[in-house]
């Protein structure tokens, strides 16, 4: 029988409110108005794209529809005639196993049976001879199935989605963290791009297709998601709310030692506050270096195993789930160091501080900061530690949004709001002081001279957290002149780094065949941190014992130190030989320059003496001419056939400088005293012709 009402009608809205009030007492205030709007549209089979802040209650949008429909089937006489399903089931596509397990954990709190379909659970089912395909297809056991994009294209899921029972009871297909379609679908995990095709081609057209995200930027990113999921025109409902977190202060600090360092002293003052925090690292190698630094910063004892934990994809699902549980239940569990596996959607309400080592893209940074401050009544902090060199890169080649954040000088929160176009822009783009935000960002707090207090929740009386202190030997060392000679130059360091990397690859290929190393991550065979230690002391390593002491934390130090030392010796010999060759070349070059300078000085001295002799000869000739002119008399001058006398004899060849200045190169400028020596007779003598004339010949004969 056809339903009398639609869920978006008044009767449907009232029914949802009543069921939520009845079955979810932990939500005394019920649903937010925007949650109601989304849930009603999902129940009516409308497509939805929802963008709200982290911690904004997105998970309720795929939990409540199942709760409502199940209650409608169990007690149909209590509710009006509305569209329903006999065995309602939903599909949630998750980017990580951690998020899938987290959703299952949260749904179980609401009495919604859910299942994380991943490698571990599939393998476990096969070992126990459980037919997962049949269980899911019959829709009797699980109400929500969480699955990754890669498994959707297995033969098992083609069988599931072809089942009439499953198709008749499917309520929605949801893609959580939908912004990752753009970020990961391009190259890292291309099957993210095919999730929309799966929804449209493998599921009934009557179901709702949902996309949920806290960091989907407006404009081209949103258009790309709509195209991927098949949203167009007015056929889907778009909800975009502000993703600003009023209870979280955003702080940016420049790293003193860099992301690739083995020391992170800037973390210690904040961690000593005792507040629970999550430290986000870009790669597992960074994670291990931060972990070892914090481990060595605590006093020895088993308490370190409880105080610090790691969360990443190489850890087993059971270990990662236990980490989330300990964050909530164990007051001694204070710090979790994690990769991106934690950042996308994993919920831990006890986290108060978030630390990002390095600046990823703005979406990832916003997600990382959103892990803290889930309890809106407690002030939280989101730290972003960046390398100073990134400021220069921001001008050259970084993503424009990343550059905007790094170069901001007024208000970080205003930048975030401009990036995501958080409404109303007339208010959200104001600085923290003008907008009267309760927790101003670090820029606004510094400018307004505001000091904020972030107390830690009280601990049980029997719990004492030892403070973090910088490990011994981590203080900066001033190098002497002799020590500087032992430091590698840039090109030498690049050469040595490449050779050490090649050694690491050979070591991995040799050791990974051993059964003990089957699951060992690639970067742990010869970590970058060990390579850095060697490069910093490269020319100082003069024995196997010295090398062994230096690389003591390395897991292969005992078995591979001799082989590594041989590699280092060869490189040291090459570097020293190159330095000696360069020194000899430089000495020869300097010697040639000295010889050239001496030759130049000698030539100049000879030229100056020659010019002096020429000048004396000219003066003698001029005086002879003057004497000859005076004795000849005026009559002799009148008998000349030419007014131009022959020039005086010149023995010096003119130079280029003479043609330009009429002055010999190297000679001094004539002074007034010099000019007085040149008489009128000398001047007239210079007008004689340079050849013998008839008049001159007769005069000479007479």
pLDDT at residue 604, rounded to an integer: 76
pLDDT at residue 676, rounded to an integer: 46
Q: Going from the N-terminus, what domains does the chain have, and what CATH number goes with each?
A: 10-240 (3.40.50.300), 248-447 (3.40.50.300), 486-578 (no CATH), 641-650+675-702 (no CATH)
pLDDT at residue 183, rounded to an integer: 87
Task: Provide the residue count of the chain.
Answer: 702
477 versus 399: the higher-pLDDT residue is 399
Mean pLDDT of 348-364: 91
Pairwise CA distance, residues 175 & 395, whole Å: 35
Model confidence pLDDT, tens digit, residues 524-558: 888 888 888 899 888 889 888 889 888 887 888 88
Q: Which of 85-99, 430-444, 642-656 has the lowest mean pLDDT?
A: 642-656
pLDDT at residue 691, rounded to an integer: 52
Name the percent of the chain lying above pLDDT 90. Answer: 54
128 versus 475: the higher-pLDDT residue is 128
pLDDT at residue 440, rounded to an integer: 97
Indicate if the pLDDT at residue 329 is higher than 80.
yes
Mean pLDDT of 47-57: 92
695 versus 561: the higher-pLDDT residue is 561
Model confidence pLDDT, tens digit, residues 112-168: 999 999 999 999 999 999 999 999 999 999 999 999 999 998 999 999 999 999 999
Model confidence pLDDT, tens digit, residues 302-319: 899 999 999 998 888 899
Q: Between the ranges 177-191, 438-452, 574-588, where is the mean pLDDT highest?
A: 438-452
Tokens of 278: 């999550």
Read off the pLDDT band of 401 (50, 70, 90).
confident
pLDDT at residue 642, rounded to an integer: 46
pLDDT at residue 688, rounded to an integer: 53
Mean pLDDT of 663-689: 50
Q: Cβ(212)–Cβ(177) under 8 Å?
A: yes
Distance of alpha carbon 634 from its chain centroid, rounded?
98
Closest CA to 18 of 66, 68, 62, 59: 68
This prediction's pTM: 0.70
Closest CA to 583 of 515, 477, 516, 485: 485
474 versus 80: the higher-pLDDT residue is 80
Q: Which of 250-259, 352-361, 645-654 has the lowest mean pLDDT?
A: 645-654
Pairwise CA distance, residues 309 & 416, whole Å: 31
647 versus 378: the higher-pLDDT residue is 378
Indicate if the pLDDT at residue 488 is higher than 60.
yes
pLDDT at residue 485, rounded to an integer: 72
Pairwise CA distance, residues 680 & 625, whole Å: 11
Looking at the DSSP assignment, which residues form a beta bridge with residue 251? Answer: 383
Read off the pLDDT band of 523 (50, 70, 90).
confident
Torsion of CA 435, 440, 446, 452, to 10 degrees: 140
Mean pLDDT of 603-627: 63
Read off the pLDDT band of 655 (50, 70, 90).
very low
87: phi then psi, degrees, rounded to nearest 5? -135, 75
Closest CA to 90 of 10, 175, 214: 175
Pairwise CA distance, residues 374 & 506, whole Å: 46
Torsion of CA 286, 287, 292, 298, to 10 degrees: 130
Q: Dihedral of CA 672/678/679/684: which sign?
A: negative
pLDDT at residue 637, rounded to an integer: 46
Pairwise CA distance, residues 13 & 66, whole Å: 15
Pairwise CA distance, residues 218 & 182, whole Å: 13
């Amino acid at each position: 029988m056809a339903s009398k009402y639609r869920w978006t009608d008044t009767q449907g809205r009232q029914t949802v409110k009543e069921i939520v009030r009845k079955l979810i007492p932990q939500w005394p205030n019920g649903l937010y108005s925007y949650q109601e709007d989304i849930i009603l549209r999902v129940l009516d089979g409308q497509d939805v794209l929802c963008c709200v802040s982290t911690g904004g209650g997105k998970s309720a949008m795929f939990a409540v529809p199942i709760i409502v429909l199940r209650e409608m089937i169990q007690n149909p006489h209590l509710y009006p005639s509305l569209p329903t399903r006999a065995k309602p089931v939903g599909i949630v596509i998750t980017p990580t196993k951690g998020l899938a397990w987290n959703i299952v954990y949260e749904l179980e709190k609401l009495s919604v049976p859910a299942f994380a379909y991943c490698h571990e659970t599939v393998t476990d089912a096969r070992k126990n001879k459980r037919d997962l395909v049949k269980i899911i297809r019959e829709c009797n056991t699980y109400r929500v199935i969480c699955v990754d994009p890669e498994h959707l294209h297995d033969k098992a899921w083609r069988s599931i989605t072809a089942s009439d029972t499953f198709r008749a009871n499917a309520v929605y297909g949801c893609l959580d963290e939908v912004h990752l379609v753009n970020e990961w679908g391009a190259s890292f995990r291309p099957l993210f791009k095919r999730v929309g095709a799966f929804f449209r081609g493998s599921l009934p057209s009557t179901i709702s297709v949902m996309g949920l995200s806290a960091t989907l930027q407006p404009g081209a990113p949103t258009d790309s998601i709509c195209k991927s999921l098949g949203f167009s025109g007015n056929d889907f409902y778009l909800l975009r709310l502000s993703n600003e977190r009023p209870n979280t202060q955003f702080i940016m600090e420049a790293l003193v030692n860099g992301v690739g360092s083995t020391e992170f002293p800037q973390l210690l003052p904040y961690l000593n506050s005792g507040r629970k925090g999550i430290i986000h690292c870009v790669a597992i190698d960074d994670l291990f270096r931060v972990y070892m630094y914090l481990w060595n910063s605590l006093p020895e004892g088993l308490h370190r195993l409880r105080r610090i934990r790691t969360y990443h994809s190489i850890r087993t699902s059971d270990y990662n789930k236990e980490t989330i549980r300990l964050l909530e239940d164990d007051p001694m569990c204070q710090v979790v160091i994690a990769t991106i596996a934690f950042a996308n959607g994993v919920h831990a309400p006890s986290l108060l501080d978030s630390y990002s080592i390095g600046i990823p893209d703005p979406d990832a940074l916003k997600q990382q900061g959103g892990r803290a401050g889930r309890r809106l009544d407690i002030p939280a902090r989101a730290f972003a530690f960046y390398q100073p060199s990134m400021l220069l890169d921001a001008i050259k080649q970084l993503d424009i949004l990343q550059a905007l954040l790094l170069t901001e000088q007024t208000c970080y929160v205003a930048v975030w709001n401009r990036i995501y176009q958080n409404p109303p822009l007339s208010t959200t783009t104001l600085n923290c002081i003008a907008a009267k935000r309760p927790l101003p960002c670090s820029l606004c707090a510094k400018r307004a001279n505001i000091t904020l207090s972030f107390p830690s929740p009280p601990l049980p009386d029997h719990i004492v957290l030892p403070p973090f202190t910088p490990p011994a030997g981590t203080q900066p060392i001033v190098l002497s002149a002799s020590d500087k000679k032992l430091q590698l130059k840039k090109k030498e360091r690049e050469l040595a780094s490449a050779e050490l990397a090649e050694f690491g690859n050979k070591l991995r290929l040799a050791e990974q065949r051993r059964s003990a190393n089957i699951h060992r991550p690639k970067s742990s065979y010869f970590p970058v941190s060990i390579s850095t230690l060697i490069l910093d002391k490269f020319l100082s390593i003069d024995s196997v014992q010295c090398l062994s002491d230096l690389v003591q934390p390395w897991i292969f130090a005992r078995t591979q130190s001799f082989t590594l030392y041989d590699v280092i010796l060869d490189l040291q010999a090459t570097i020293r030989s190159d330095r000696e060759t360069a020194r000899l070349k430089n000495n020869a070059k300097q010697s040639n320059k000295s010889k050239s300078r001496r030759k130049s000085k000698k030539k100049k001295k000879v030229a100056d003496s020659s010019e002096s002799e020429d000048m004396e000869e000219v003066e003698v000739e001029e005086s002879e001419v003057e004497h000859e002119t005076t004795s000849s008399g005026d009559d002799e001058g009148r008998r000349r056939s030419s007014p131009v006398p022959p020039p005086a004899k010149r023995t010096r060849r003119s130079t280029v400088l003479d043609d330009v200045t009429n002055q010999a190169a190297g000679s001094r400028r004539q002074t007034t005293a010099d000019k007085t020596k040149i008489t009128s007779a000398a001047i007239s003598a210079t007008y004689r012709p340079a050849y013998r004339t008839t008049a001159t010949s007769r005069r000479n004969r007479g």
